[in-house]
Structure 1
């Protein structure tokens, strides 16, 4: 070790407080980088494990493969494992006590299928022969049967066919047991053969069996020698972005139709393979922006520590220069200081980040499992890649942080360093202030502003810290809000847990019984007129912008008007009153006249552009009258009906109404039941209006069971809660991640500002002592400090807010690769930032100056460092 490096080590030891602060700053930055990398990897690992637990471990699915096609799949170089399956069909279960679950559904797997799919064995073993089966525990619990291991079952096997002629193919498990209005069966069972099975085990109900499925799932062994066509679930060796195109080419080469293959999209996207190119670009762009924010935040924190360290060492560096130290040696001494601190801080930071995440996961695991009803736990997942990224980014951060101070150190001359003239500028021009400052704010404000100008570099370092803190907070806050909005746009628009088709006799009493259940939290009874074709010619100035610009729509304009398809939803009185209050509409007007609430904002997926879009689809005003034309979908003949008045416009949709069900030329109107029955002189008679109940529940699965117990006539019940769980899971997990990130960023920013201001005030002890020695009172001193705080805050906001808005817009543009909505500023977050900046600076200045006040004037004047 050369003499300069030895002196650097000695300097670090002598200035223990400064060294510890710098080490602590680097540890925080490395811990943040490690934590972010670990959170990302751990969350993706959780989602992958949960996806496997729910849907099985496979990537690509092929159906009805013949022997030649199956051989091609097995011999594909990228195929790791192949699981074969076959839906054998249904078997009548005449002794079942549940009239709406009168079947067994027999599914066959090859040996690996029992390992790759989420099948939990309760007792016994898995089938090893084609005549062996495993039955679910629910058969005995719900159907009132008593199947035991060793029982021999002789089953008539066949397919289910609906009486409805529009359903041509045999029905699978996605179709509930079909009944007519009187509750009588509306389907028939067609026998195709007979099989004899031996029960060799019992299992818990498979996750893929829906509560409304008409057959209890039983599993058997697939003997591929006895079947001509099989389904194949493929586990791939390598997952590449070209997977979807490669699979399509493979299917075409082997004469496999498009309908014969599919993908495990959830597992693939959690493994980093996303079909939507725009979504992939969005994720990569956002990742790059977030990583840049982290690096900038870390650099600002560490840079300030090294910059102040070099400022303190200026006399030390000058003395080195006076005894012959070269510019390179002085520069290298700063780099060496960074290397020493990095060697200590990086390992500690990585350990701190991993321990912090481990503790965090321990606290939030139960909350996440309870909220999402998931079986898997968050585990600290460490990969070589995530640690390597954290180390490399940390090294890069320290290098960037030390580069400018190192250059500055190399340029320090012996005389300037010893006299310390580099940091303090005393020229009149440099410290000149406006006369207005003294006139409006007083002498103390002028002195405070001159102090900032004299110590320009430290002033700039503090402002820089504030600017970075503003940018970090606003960028991450904007990212969080827009992530939620983007995920909401990608949802299917179903904002309820259960919907029930009504229209049977006695349904009014059933509805009252359902909404009285303790689990039901909200409900809506809705009628719609989907059986009729309703249009309205809208003036061009009120039409959506897309309709005026796209060629396919421009041709439909006639006499300056465009034909909108109108979708009418009628709420019952209680639901309408609640909704009218929410959107600020007049309930009495809606109930007693031909009036409607228009939903003027539409959300839909533009498949051609690969985007989720939110846009206004009509620019009307309250009081606008629309003429409705009512016709028939088949004949397309229309006749003019009544005019309806728009009572209010809103972007809020009542529960059960989804404005994105059609295209941008669809207009949703929410009306009263009396208005619906008055339109068209009886054309929309009550018998032709579809009626449904939509509700939210604390326990949707239990609620459905209770409804099935009390209903006299079987209704079509759609429980969308389970289908939506995966999407809600992603939103909640991402919210935990992003809000945790905001908290971390905020704490680091506050620590950064406190550190910078505290050090800056500490280094100005002699300056403050001189002011006191010249007669400045404690009140005047406090006033000067307060004005300095205000100047810091104003300057930081002048730079921070425009930069933050620019970064927000960059994020918005990144999201526009997959989503399309209007750019809006987070005004509430901006207000919080303005308040927080002055609050943090004020507290920091008061805390730091409070410590300086206790200093003895004589001792402070003797201080060598400014």
Structure 2
């Protein structure tokens, strides 16, 4: 170790407070990088494990494979595990209690599947032979037959066939389709049956992948490659050794090799997405672009934090470096002295920062897990996932950050002349032009404000460091807030948000029984309900100038699709009961009175929609119709038999909105609009056009949807029940998990930013002790001193906002353009977030100033004037 390094170490030891501040600032920066990397990896790991727990683990599936094809797939070098599955078929369940679930559905799996598919064994064991079976506990609870382990049972197993008597068609249907009932009669049957005999070897819990509306209770038997036959094809799902982007190409090549068409190949896109793998080029560009922008913002924030610490350090060491220069220290030696200081700080800070980041995430996850498993019904826990790559990334980013942070101070240190450094004139500008202020400042705010502004101009470098720190903090908060909004928007666009648990309708064209409706809606677990009538028999003829931009592009290519200058919009007309309509009107902020007047034919129109552009591979939010309140909407009935449209009535648009009431979901085509009217207006439309077909629905939310479904079945057995609780729950889990992640990210960034600002301002104020002592010595009163500091706070805040907000909006737009590769929606400046930032900046700066001044006030004026270094 040379003499310069020894002197640097001695100087660090002698200036313990400054060294400690620098180390703490660097530790915070390293902890931030580590925490962000750990948070992202741990969140993706949680999503992977939760998805596997809910739906099982597989990456690629090949459908309708033969035994030879299955062997080829299993022997492929990329295959780690082969899962075989198939639908053995349906059989009538003897003594079934539930008329809507009259079947037993027999699924078959191989041994690997019992480890990877989410099946919970309650008692007994899994099947090991094709003549063994396990039954769902639901079968035991919903049939008169007392099945026991060890019993031998026989079923007539076949396929569900839907008999469409009008079209004379037959179609095979599976568990996704509920029992088909028309006018109270079951219109399906089980055909092509074969007698199957099994020994019951175990009982399983109801699988979570069995839909609540499925007509068959699940039973599981055994299969393997040797049991695959031409009459009984099987699905081969693969867990891969290495999950990489090349898996899409490899799977397609393997499918061609074994002579399988592309229709028989499927990828688990949801799970692969959590591995960071996608075959959607636009989505991939979006993911990498967002990651690059966010990481750049984080690195800049880290550099700002560490740079401030080192810049202040060099400022304090200026005198020390000048003395070394006066005794022969070269520029290179002075520069290397600062780099060596950075290296020493890094050796201490990087390990501590990484440990602090991991411990901080561990504590955070401990709190979050209580929320996840309590409120969100998530079975898996967030655990701190540490990978060599994440640690290496944190080390490299932190090292690069420290190098960048020390480079500029090191260059500055090398250029300081001995006389300037000893006299400490490098940071102070005393030219008249440099410290000139407007006379308006004194007239408006007084002498104290003018002195405060001159002080800022004198110490321009320190002022720039503080403003830079504030600006970076503003950018971090606003960009992460917009990033949060973008993620929530992407979830909203990509998923059909279901806002109810249970849908009820009658069989065929039967009407609801009023007594049954009252009994159902007053059930103990029902938290809210909505009654609705719907018809899809009408079109709205919209003038060419009012159609959506997307449709205008289509019309330009093919003007013949217009009818007398109008475009026919497929129109969903929904009638809400009076109470539901009042609630909906209140939610969108309108007066419900015109809607309840059946003579006015008033309506609410949803003028914004979402559709998936399959060719472009993106989700698009768009204005479905350009109109305004008070305009008329002409409604026609499509008489397709005579190839004409008959005018029915005109609706007056009372309100335009993008909100939907309970029971109506997002989605639809680019030439579709949703219209909401009262029951009276709806009935008038139906009466005016006798050929229109409508259906009645009741939508329920329940605290226990499965229990509520059973109670409804006991009340009225003629109702068709569609329980979407599970799919809705999974959708809500994803949104809430994402919210926990991104809001946790915001809290982290906010805390770091506040620490950064406090560190910068408090250190800057600490370095100005002599200056403040001088002002007090010439007669500045405490009141005038406070006024001067308040003005400096305001100036710092305004200046940082003038830089931070425009730069933030620019970065937001870059994020928006990155999202546009996959999701298309309107760019909106988050004014509320900006307002929060404006208020927060002045609160934080003021608090930091007050904290710092409270410490300075305790200083003795004489002692402060004598100090040359602190």
Structure 2 vs 1, CA of residues 679 and 106 (structure 1 numbering), >3 Å: closer, same or farther? Answer: closer
- 253-262 or 553-562, which moves further after superposition? 553-562
Q: How far, CA to CA, are the matches of 2:197 and 2:313 in structure 1?
A: 84
Q: How far, CA to CA, are the matches of 1:203 and 1:95 in structure 2?
A: 20
Counterpart secondary structure, 1:244: helix
Q: How far, CA to CA, are the matches of 2:690 and 2:572 in structure 1?
A: 13
In structure 2, the residue matched to 1:793 is 797
Q: How far, CA to CA, are the matches of 1:844 and 1:224 in structure 2?
A: 71
Preserved contact between residue 82 and residue 237 of structure 2 (Cα < 8 Å) = yes
Preserved contact between residue 67 and residue 226 of structure 2 (Cα < 8 Å) = no
Of 509, 515, 530, 2:515 maps to 509
1:287 Cα deviation (Å)?
1.1
Structure 2 vs 1, CA of residues 639 and 685 (structure 1 numbering), >3 Å: closer, same or farther? Answer: closer
Q: For residues 503-543 of structure 1, what are the alpha-carbon distances to aligned partners after superposition, in whole Å with 9 as ceiling and x for unaligned?
A: 5344333222222123323322221221x2x2233223322
* Matched ranges for 1:44-443 at <5 A: 44-165=44-165, 168-182=170-184, 184-190=185-191, 192-228=193-229, 229-443=233-447
1:711 aligns with 2:720: no
In structure 1, the residue matched to 2:579 is 574
1:470 aligns with 2:474: yes
1:607 aligns with 2:614: yes
- 302-311 or 129-138, which moves further after superposition? 129-138
In structure 2, the residue matched to 1:537 is 541
Structure 2 vs 1, CA of residues 244 and 512 (structure 1 numbering), >3 Å: closer, same or farther? Answer: farther
Counterpart secondary structure, 1:660: coil
Q: How far, CA to CA, are the matches of 2:648 and 2:234 in structure 1?
A: 56
Q: How far, CA to CA, are the matches of 2:580 and 2:445 in structure 1?
A: 59
1:245 Cα deviation (Å)?
4.2
Structure 2 vs 1, CA of residues 489 and 102 (structure 1 numbering), >3 Å: closer, same or farther? Answer: same
In structure 2, the residue matched to 1:450 is 454
Counterpart secondary structure, 1:529: strand
* Matched ranges for 1:681-830 at <5 A: 682-684=688-690, 688-713=693-718, 715-830=719-834
Preserved contact between residue 251 and residue 258 of structure 1 (Cα < 8 Å) = yes
Q: How far, CA to CA, are the matches of 2:256 and 2:683 in structure 1?
A: 54
Q: How far, CA to CA, are the matches of 1:323 and 1:684 in structure 2?
A: 105
1:759 Cα deviation (Å)?
1.1
1:634 Cα deviation (Å)?
5.0
Structure 2 vs 1, CA of residues 847 and 492 (structure 1 numbering), >3 Å: closer, same or farther? Answer: same
Preserved contact between residue 156 and residue 191 of structure 1 (Cα < 8 Å) = no
Preserved contact between residue 528 and residue 570 of structure 1 (Cα < 8 Å) = yes
Counterpart secondary structure, 1:822: coil
Q: How far, CA to CA, are the matches of 1:511 and 1:708 in structure 2?
A: 12
Q: How far, CA to CA, are the matches of 2:695 and 2:829 in structure 1?
A: 41
Structure 2 vs 1, CA of residues 684 and 41 (structure 1 numbering), >3 Å: closer, same or farther? Answer: farther
1:562 Cα deviation (Å)?
2.8
Structure 2 vs 1, CA of residues 681 and 213 (structure 1 numbering), >3 Å: closer, same or farther? Answer: closer
Preserved contact between residue 129 and residue 223 of structure 1 (Cα < 8 Å) = no
Structure 2 vs 1, CA of residues 566 and 158 (structure 1 numbering), >3 Å: closer, same or farther? Answer: closer
- 538-547 or 737-746, which moves further after superposition? 538-547
Structure 2 vs 1, CA of residues 89 and 103 (structure 1 numbering), >3 Å: closer, same or farther? Answer: same
Q: How far, CA to CA, are the matches of 2:565 and 2:577 in structure 1?
A: 36
Of 852, 858, 863, 2:856 maps to 852
Q: How far, CA to CA, are the matches of 2:483 and 2:224 in structure 1?
A: 52
Counterpart secondary structure, 1:112: helix
In structure 1, the residue matched to 2:676 is 670
Q: For residues 664-687 of structure 1, what are the alpha-carbon distances to aligned partners after superposition, in whole Å with 9 as ceiling and x for unaligned?
A: 22222111122122237531468x
Structure 2 vs 1, CA of residues 97 and 545 (structure 1 numbering), >3 Å: closer, same or farther? Answer: closer
1:46 Cα deviation (Å)?
1.3
Q: For residues 73-126 of structure 1, what are the alpha-carbon distances to aligned partners after superposition, in whole Å with 9 as ceiling and x for unaligned?
A: 234332222122222112332133333333322222222121221222222222
Q: How far, CA to CA, are the matches of 2:736 and 2:587 in structure 1?
A: 26
1:528 aligns with 2:534: yes
Preserved contact between residue 499 and residue 663 of structure 2 (Cα < 8 Å) = yes
- Count how many residue pairs are aligned between Structure 1 and Structure 2: 860
1:9 Cα deviation (Å)?
0.8
Q: How far, CA to CA, are the matches of 2:847 and 2:226 in structure 1?
A: 79
1:646 aligns with 2:653: yes
Q: How far, CA to CA, are the matches of 1:218 and 1:559 in structure 2?
A: 59
Structure 2 vs 1, CA of residues 643 and 185 (structure 1 numbering), >3 Å: closer, same or farther? Answer: closer
1:2 Cα deviation (Å)?
0.8
Q: How far, CA to CA, are the matches of 1:336 and 1:250 in structure 2?
A: 56
Q: For residues 285-315 of structure 1, what are the alpha-carbon distances to aligned partners after superposition, in whole Å with 9 as ceiling and x for unaligned?
A: 1111111111111111111010000000001
Preserved contact between residue 529 and residue 684 of structure 1 (Cα < 8 Å) = no
Structure 2 vs 1, CA of residues 323 and 497 (structure 1 numbering), >3 Å: closer, same or farther? Answer: same
Counterpart secondary structure, 1:163: strand
Which 5+ residue runs of structure 2 have no aligned equivalent? none
Q: How far, CA to CA, are the matches of 1:497 and 1:42 in structure 2?
A: 31
1:445 Cα deviation (Å)?
0.8
1:641 Cα deviation (Å)?
1.9
Q: How far, CA to CA, are the matches of 2:642 and 2:346 in structure 1?
A: 78
Counterpart secondary structure, 1:85: strand
RMSD: 2.0
Q: How far, CA to CA, are the matches of 1:584 and 1:633 in structure 2?
A: 39
Preserved contact between residue 580 and residue 587 of structure 1 (Cα < 8 Å) = yes
The TM-score with structure 1 as length reference comes to 0.96
1:30 aligns with 2:37: no
Counterpart secondary structure, 2:863: helix
Preserved contact between residue 584 and residue 648 of structure 1 (Cα < 8 Å) = no
Preserved contact between residue 48 and residue 270 of structure 1 (Cα < 8 Å) = yes
- 336-345 or 639-648, which moves further after superposition? 639-648
Preserved contact between residue 60 and residue 237 of structure 2 (Cα < 8 Å) = yes
Q: How far, CA to CA, are the matches of 1:223 and 1:455 in structure 2?
A: 79
